Amino acid sequence: MKRALLSVWNKEGIKELASALHRAGIELISSGGTAKVLEATGIPIIDVSEYTGSPEMMDGRVKTLHPRIHGGILGRRGVDDQVMESHNILPIDLVIVNLYPFEEMTKQALPLDELIEFIDIGGPAMIRASAKNYRDVLVITDPADYPFIINAVSAGRNITIQERLSFARKVFARMAAYDGAISNYLYSVDSDFPDVYSVQYTEGRGLRYGENPRQKAAVYGSSGIAGSHPFQGKAMSYNNYLDLDAAFSLLCEFDECAAVIVKHNNPCGVALGSSIVDAYIKARDIDPESAYGGVVTVNREVDTALAEEIISTFIEVLAAPSFSEKARDILKVKENMRLLILTEPIQGDQVRTIDGGALIQSTPVIREEWTVVTERDPTADEEAAMQLAMKICKHVKSNAIVFADKSRAVGIGAGQMSRVDSARIAISKARFPLAGSVAASDAFLPFPDTLEVAAEAGATALIQPGGSIRDEEVIKAANRLHMAMIFTGVRYFRH
């Protein structure tokens, strides 16, 4: 490489890179703020304006849009040499460019006229041109890749065609994300969702198979659950990721010491405890048959007491904010069990594919408005149990009915076409007495039957969104059965 062009918004590592290139005898062309940074360090550079013979203009909008720049990048060695020579165009062998931070600036609520100035033009043009001509031009857009270049030029090593192609791929992926972010923003200026919705996920990793062995699958993402990798155990499966995501979403409902166990995307054990092992034992004992082979999440460090309980049965995945060293040693006896560290949840739109397209939804923060609609108010214990039951109910597949006391679920009914059938399933699976429990429903009760079934099982209170045309019938039934009932005004269907 004889000549490099450097023009970056993010100046991280650019001095070190430029120094290495200069030591390797590579001529440096630079512009704007990058040129000033390098000149201040004493590294010799040629300013773009000096090289092109054209001044920077229009407040920096036009700097590198010039034939001597783009001809030097796009010129095919051995094909366009004569044209380049006749127009005094020198070949540019290395392009180091990163873009104006449009995505970051959208978070600052700038007026559109200000934000639009962060739409990069020259940068995308240069890196696209470089990537197109990757056989002759190496292009770098990520400061994390600078050490690769520094090591290569310091050792005098040639960059292989495969390496050049890999960096060209990164350019087009970056441009797809960049242009997608601009498109999404501009389309959303006057609406909640854009007419054209662009999304990009990175760091794709192949999985052994999908939901079933005949299906192929991969996971994409670099953060949150999608970016999580086990530090012990087998590689995560498609179903492991689905269940871990469901378990973590429910776990995030709690500040108290809590444990959540999920099987086939539904919680089968949820409990609060005085310690994390207490919470886990309570959660496991709600439905130990379903907990067998399940995914466990806890919101406290895994200590030795919990580790001992975990290894007493078969668990597919255990995820927690941290693990003590002694707990890690204990858990090694289950060498196939996947252990993961939980990080902060990642907020964003939910995307689900359907035949021919996708469904997109956002979930704004909403405050439930609890209203007692019966003659009897709930007791303090009933109200605490209702809070727990409704937190769980939000994460159970519809139709959902959950029975709970103030520290744990005691019966979970999920995914039925009839709400009363969900109640009957919850009752049938309960291993603890339901007398004195409360029931929660993710949507309104269309008839009194679900409430009557819950009361017969021993529930003394019920919480639901309300909003049925038969609300008065359900309220009358609750009064007749001396139950307390609360309407929240918020439905929690989960399909």
At 96, phi and psi to the nearest 5? -115, 105
Q: What is the pLDDT, as a whole number, of residue 122?
A: 86
Q: What residue segments make up the domains of the chain, in order of their start? A: 3-187, 217-341, 371-487
How far apart CA 98 and CA 225 sit, in angstroms, is 28
DSSP code at position 107: G
Q: How many residues in total does the chain contain?
A: 495
How far apart CA 277 and CA 248 sit, in angstroms, is 18
Q: What is the pLDDT, as a whole number, of residue 50?
A: 79
* HSE of 372, CA atoms in CB hemisphere, 13 A: 12
Low-confidence ranges of the chain (pLDDT < 50): none
Q: What is the pLDDT, as a whole number, of residue 347?
A: 86
Handedness of CA 106, 107, 112, 116 (dihedral sign): negative
How far apart CA 278 and CA 299 sit, in angstroms, is 13
371-487 architecture in CATH? 3-Layer(aba) Sandwich (3.40)
**Do the beta carbons of residue 51 and residue 57 sit within 8 Å?**
no
First-last CA distance in the chain = 56
Q: Where are the alpha helices (DSSP H) in 238-334?
A: 238-251, 276-286, 288-291, 304-310, 325-331
Asked whether the domain spanning 217-341 has the same topology as the one spanning 3-187, the reply is: no
Q: What is the pLDDT, as a whole number, of residue 379?
A: 97
Name the residue among 360, 312, 317, 313 with its Cα closest to residue 338.
Answer: 317
217-341 folds as Cytidine Deaminase; domain 2 (3.40.140)
* Cα–Cα separations (whole angstroms), residue 460 to 86, 217, 389, 416: 91, 46, 13, 23
Residue by residue, DSSP assigns 369-383 as --EE-SSSPPPHHHH
* HSE of 367, CA atoms in CB hemisphere, 13 A: 2
- Residue entry with tokens 């934000």: 115
Q: For 402-416, give one letter per residue: b (16+ CB within 10 A) or e.
A: bbbbbbbbbbbbbbb
CA-angle at 391, arms to 485 and 421, nearest 5°: 65
The identity of residue 323, as a single letter, is F
- Is residue 2 annotated as part of the catalytic site, yes or no? no
- Is residue 107 annotated as part of the catalytic site, yes or no? no
Q: Which residues pair with 486 in a beta bridge?
A: 372, 463
3-187 folds as Rossmann fold (3.40.50)
Structure tokens given for 36: 């000033």
* Cα–Cα separations (whole angstroms), residue 423 to 384, 435, 488: 20, 15, 19
Q: Where are the alpha helices (DSSP H) in 223-287?
A: 238-251, 276-286
At 483, phi and psi to the nearest 5? -95, 150
* HSE of 293, CA atoms in CB hemisphere, 13 A: 6
Considering the entire predicted model, what is its pTM? 0.86
How far apart CA 415 and CA 93 sit, in angstroms, is 60
The SS3 call for residue 423 is helix
Q: What is the pLDDT, as a whole number, of residue 57?
A: 66
At 266, phi and psi to the nearest 5? -125, 140
The one catalytic residue among 132, 234, 332, 406: 132
Mode of pairing for the β-strands spanning 294-298 and 258-263: antiparallel
